Structure 1
């Protein structure tokens, strides 16, 4: 696998969320721990559009998948 194409900051921008480092860390801290029984895209804090994006990118193992996996780990 090559270098990661997207950053956490890019992912947050793509999701329409504040994407500065401190804002990303605050988001993660305020939404963790996410129950292991809940798929990341089903977490209650996502909008329908965010949920659809996360689900599609993971299912397709798209360019965004590695950074979404990282977010998933950090939220657990």
Structure 2
């Protein structure tokens, strides 16, 4: 960042500048994906994908718990 010329550096996790969308690192890949979905398909589809992701993770957790007898 110190070597960039005429750059407007932000500390935001996800940065949007017109049609350029970036994230600060690989750990934000999921949030970047949701941001791209929102920009391309809209807020409703972004929320649907978020809910599907939560449902999938929760289902996976419950199945593991049942398998382990908890």
Shared fold (TM-score, shorter chain, > 0.5)? no
| Larger Rg belongs to | 2
Larger RCO, structures 1/2 (Cα 8 Å, 6+ apart) = 1
TM-score by length of 2: 0.31
